[in-house]
Amino acid sequence: MSEETANSGEPVAEKDDARHAMKMAKKKTAREKIMATKTDEKGLIIVHTGKGKGKSTAGFGMIFRHIAHGMPCAVVQFIKGAWQTGERDLIEKHFGDLCQFYTLGEGFTWETQDRARDVAMAQRAWEKAKELIRDERNSMVLLDEVNIALRYDYIDVAEVVRFLKEEKPHMTHVVLTGRNAKEDLIEIADLVTEMELVKHPFRSGIKAQKGVEF
Amino acid sequence: MSEETANSGEPVAEKDDARHAMKMAKKKTAREKIMATKTDEKGLIIVHTGKGKGKSTAGFGMIFRHIAHGMPCAVVQFIKGAWQTGERDLIEKHFGDLCQFYTLGEGFTWETQDRARDVAMAQRAWEKAKELIRDERNSMVLLDEVNIALRYDYIDVAEVVRFLKEEKPHMTHVVLTGRNAKEDLIEIADLVTEMELVKHPFRSGIKAQKGVEF
């Protein structure tokens, strides 16, 4: 492949290449200098929130990274909803020895229509989450959609914050997903990403599709 | 589990439960009404951009969803960088029959220090991407970090936009990740998510960790 084709027909002058190389060399040095100061390792409290897509998906992506490295991990799904997700089948079928998977939430309240039951299910899920986090063999525990349970006060944010601060083993990563993450949780988190919706196909009449939304 | 424990000791009155149930029933009806208008299916152009984490991770999460459903898919990595990612090993080892995986990018220019070479590699990756997208057996093709190649003009955004509009099969999903997505690309995308960085542990001296960043 020639350089010409890569630049819409305009040849790249050697001078430009040299200038570019110098600029990039500076960038590399600056970057290495910064990276050299990053030496600590610790288990992170990671929050994915916002109205955009990808909060759970990126959480599962990290779980698959753990699986890829042979590191034991676990998932607790706080909200099951009406959709079946494929992740559970895939993980249980292929990687059940590395990743424990619990779906304990019952769905959104507007589906179950039963707050007392949702509260009980969320509490059960939180008990299981604590057990999995306390087990130091787990390198990462994903609490999928826990923010929804927190938002509706199915579980108490003060209790979650206290547990993560006081009882989470030092090297364990805990990932908490779902929109409307509570401020108290963001406060104690190490890594917070807000997935912002820029454009969504639902607006133009496209339905949820297999492999994308579920 | 009693309701009391779920609400920090405050008993939930039955009246509250009934009011809540009515509110949720309304929400359910409204939601079902909206969902009923979403009937179309089509292959989406999906963009994950922004400075936050999770762009590639959520892309791989969708690839794993495809794999979970037994739907053929493919990945082209435009930028390899210095880090080894575990996804490739995992996919090749377990799901090579469902998901093709190509790492054709060479790294960031500040690492290779060689623009001409980076351009040639990005072009090769783009040729492979086109081949995989044209192949209608693939239900999804992930172009991981392609936005970086577009940003540095290693590949021409006008050509990418033209190809996606004119040659992408109707039912094929294409996911394009990387920060600084070009406006022309966002313009034609169906689903755009901006991953926004709220908090990052690098700031407090924590280094990139196995299972989280790679």
Q: How confident is the model at residue B25 (pLDDT cuts 50, 70, 90)?
A: confident
CATH of domain A45-204: 3.40.50.300
Alpha-carbon distance of A17 to A6, in angstroms, equals: 14
Alpha-carbon distance of A173 to A186, in angstroms, equals: 15
Tokens of B26: 């309304």
Alpha-carbon distance of B169 to B133, in angstroms, equals: 7
Cβ atoms within 10 Å of B193's Cβ, excluding its own: 30
Contact status of B22 with chain A (Cβ, < 8 Å): no
ipTM summary value: 0.76
pLDDT tens-digit readout, B94-149: 999 999 999 887 666 666 678 888 889 899 999 999 999 999 999 999 999 999 99
Q: How confident is the model at residue A13 (pLDDT cuts 50, 70, 90)?
A: low
Binary contact (A64, B53; C-beta < 8 A)? no
Residue of chain B minimizing CA distance to A206: B40
The segment with the largest mean pLDDT, out of A23-37, A170-184, B8-22, is A170-184
For all residues of chain A together, what is the average pLDDT? Answer: 85
Report which DSSP code applies to B176.
E
Of A6, A61, A119, the CB nearest to B154: A6
pLDDT at A71: 96
pLDDT tens-digit readout, A132-164: 999 999 999 999 999 999 998 999 999 999 999
For all residues of chain B together, what is the average pLDDT? Answer: 85
- What are the domain boundaries of chain B? 3-36, 45-204
Contact status of B69 with chain A (Cβ, < 8 Å): yes
Backbone angles phi, psi at A202, to 5 degrees: -55, -35
Residue of chain B minimizing CA distance to A201: B190
> Does the structure show a pLDDT above 90 at A208?
no
Tokens of B15: 């009246």
Tokens of B184: 């022309």
Helix (H, G, I), strand (E, B) or coil at B51: coil
Alpha-carbon distance of B144 to B141, in angstroms, equals: 9
**Residues of chain B with C-beta less than 8 angstroms from the C-beta of A31:** 110
Residue of chain B minimizing CA distance to A41: B206
Mean pLDDT of B7-18: 56
> Does the structure show a pLDDT above 80 at A212?
yes
> Does the structure show a pLDDT above 60 at B1?
no
Alpha-carbon distance of B4 to A6, in angstroms, equals: 66
How far is B121 from chain A, CA to nearest CA, in Å? 9
